[in-house]
Amino acid sequence: MPALGHYPTMAAEQRNYIDGEWTEAETEETMTVTNPASPAEVVASYQSSSAADAARAIEAAAGAADEWAATPAPERGQILTETSRILADRKDELTELLVREEGKTTGEAGGEVQRAIDIFSYYGAKASDLGGTVKSASGPRTNLYTVTEPLGVVGLITPWNYPIAIPAWKLAPALVTGNAAVLKPASEAPGVAHAIFEALDEAGLPDGAANFVTGSGSTVGTELVTSEEVDAISFTGSTAVGTTVYDQATEDGKRVQLEMGGKNPTIVSDSADVEEAAEIVASGAFGVTGQACTACSRAIVHTDIYDEFVDAVAAEADAIEPGPGIEGSDMGPHVSEDELEGTLEYIDIAQEDGASLVAGGNELDREGYYVEPTVFADVEPSMRLAQEEVFGPVLAVLEVEDFEDALEVANGVDYGLSASIVTDNHTEANRFIDEIEAGVAKVNAKTTGLELHVPFGGMKGSSSETWREQGDEGLEFYTIEKTVYDNY
C-alpha cells in the first residue's frame, strides 16, 4: 500500500458538513467506529447528531436550492468532474479507510472506491446533455418542447455495505440535475462518504448545495423523511426499514425511491459446466462476505448434477481464507458483532430445520467478526434459509427436477432484486430472462456486479418499484418535466 497523504495517524473526530462548514453536533456527543477485523481499534469518531442538526442541514439545502438550480448544468458537471479527480488522487487512502471501517478486502474496497470515482466522472460528463425534448406542434407558429427541472431538496439515506459507491450514485445525479441534498450515511462506516464531501468542498460546490449529517436513523433519518422542506427521499437499506420510510415520506406527498433486500437465486441447468457454475455461485455468494443486497443466497440446481455441484461449491467455500482485508485475505469480517450474530443464528436455524451443513458454519476463533464461508445442501424452498435474507456468506443449495421447477422456486420468495442462470441452453436462457421476477437478470454470470450506466433496481419486496438508480434513469428520479407551448 503506498504511503498515505491524508489518512490520520490517530483516530480522528470527524464533523458534519452543513452550509459549507464543518460543524459539531448540538448534542456535543460522538459515536466511534471500530475496525471489524480488530474491534479494539478505533478508526474514527463521528457526530451523534440530533433532529435539530438534521433540520439545520435541511434549512441550508433549502436556502441554496434556487441558486444551485440556476447554475448552468455544464458548470455543475465541472464540479462533479473535479470531485472525481480529487477522489482519484486519494484512492489508496480511501481504500484503506474503507477496509478499516467496513471490513472489505483491499481488492473489493479499491473496486468500490473506483466505482465512486467513475460515477462522479460519468454524471459530470452527462451534464452537458441535460435538457428537454422538442416536438412537432399540430398547429402553425408554435414551438412545442419540454424542459426538466430539479425537485428542490432531496434526502439521501445510505447503507454501510457499499459506503462510498451508494452515496456516490445518489449524490452525483441529484447534484448534477440541480437539486440540493442532505446525506445521512450509515453509522457503521461513514468515513468514505465524509471524504466525498471533502472532495465536493475542495471542488468548489456552493455552500448548502450538499450537506452531510451523521447519526441514528431514528433521529436524523426520521427528520429527513418527515420534514416538509424535503421534496424527495432516496433510501437504500433493509425492507423493514424501507417500508417505514415509504409510509412516512409519502404521507405528505414526497417522491420516494427505495432499494432494499434480496434473496437472489442462481439457477444451475443440467447443461452447465459444473466447475464453472460452482465458481460463479461461490463468487456471488461469498464475495464482500455475502454482505451485498445482490449476493447469491440460493443455488437452484438440476437433480442430474446436484451432488456433483454440492461437492464443487463446498470445495470453493473451503478454499476461501477469511482474514483482515488489509492483509490480502480472500474474505473479510462481518461489519459488526450484531451482523455476525445474525448470520450465526441463521446457521443454527438451518440445521434445526433439517438442512445439511456441507461446508463452513463456524465462527473463527480469532480477533474480529469472522465466520467461515458456509454451504447448506438438502434445503427445501419453505425453509427460512431459502426465504429470508441472511446478509452473510451463507449459501442454500436446492434440488429441482427440471427448468420449470427451477423457475418456480426462484420466483417463490418475497424479493426480486438480482438473479442469474448458468446454462448452455439458449431457450432456457431466454425463458429465464422473460420469466424471472427480478430487476436484474444475468446469464452465465454471478448475481453481484453492476454497470454504472444502466438502470438498477428490484421488484416485489426489493424495491418501491417506482424509480431506478444509475444511468439515465438515475437522473429521472431527481427531475420533473414541464411542457411548454410557445405560440408566436
Multiple choice CATH, 12-260+463-487, 3.40.605.10, 3.40.50.2300, 3.30.70.260, 3.40.120.10: 3.40.605.10
SS3 call for 148:
strand
Look at residue 439 and tell me whether its pLDDT is greater than 70. Answer: yes
Look at residue 1 and tell me whether its pLDDT is greater than 90. Answer: no
User: Model-level pTM?
Assistant: 0.95
| All cell numbers assigned to 379 | 434445503
Q: Model confidence at 435, in pLDDT bands (50, 70, 90)?
A: very high
- According to DSSP H, which parts of 256-305 are helical? 274-286
Dump pLDDT digits (tens) for 289-319.
999 999 999 999 999 999 999 999 999 999 9
Query: What average pLDDT score do residues 209-230 get?
Result: 97
If one counts every other C-beta atom within 10 angstroms of the C-beta of residue 228, the result is 10
Dump pLDDT digits (tens) for 324-348.
999 999 999 999 999 999 999 999 9
Q: What is the pLDDT of residue 12?
A: 84
Query: What average pLDDT score do residues 195-222 get?
Result: 98
Q: What is the pLDDT of residue 10?
A: 47
Burial class (CB in 10 A: 0-12, 13-18, 19+), 264: buried
The CA dihedral of 175, 441, 236, 32, to the nearest 10 degrees, is -110
Tell me which H or E stretch contains 16. strand 16-18
Query: What average pLDDT score do residues 102-120 get?
Result: 98
Query: Mean of the per-residue pLDDT values for the chain?
Result: 96
The CA distance from 203 to 86, in Å, is: 8
- Name the residues annotated as catalytic: 259
Q: CB neighbours of 150 closer than 8 A, spacing ≥ 6?
A: 65, 69, 177, 178, 179, 478, 479, 480
Residue 366 β-bridge partners = none
Dump pLDDT digits (tens) for 5-63.
343 444 689 999 999 999 999 999 999 999 999 999 999 999 999 999 999 999 999 99
Look at residue 2 and tell me whether its pLDDT is greater than 80. Answer: no
Domain 264-451 fold: Aldehyde Dehydrogenase; Chain A, domain 2 (3.40.309)
Every domain of the chain and the residues it spans: 12-260+463-487, 264-451
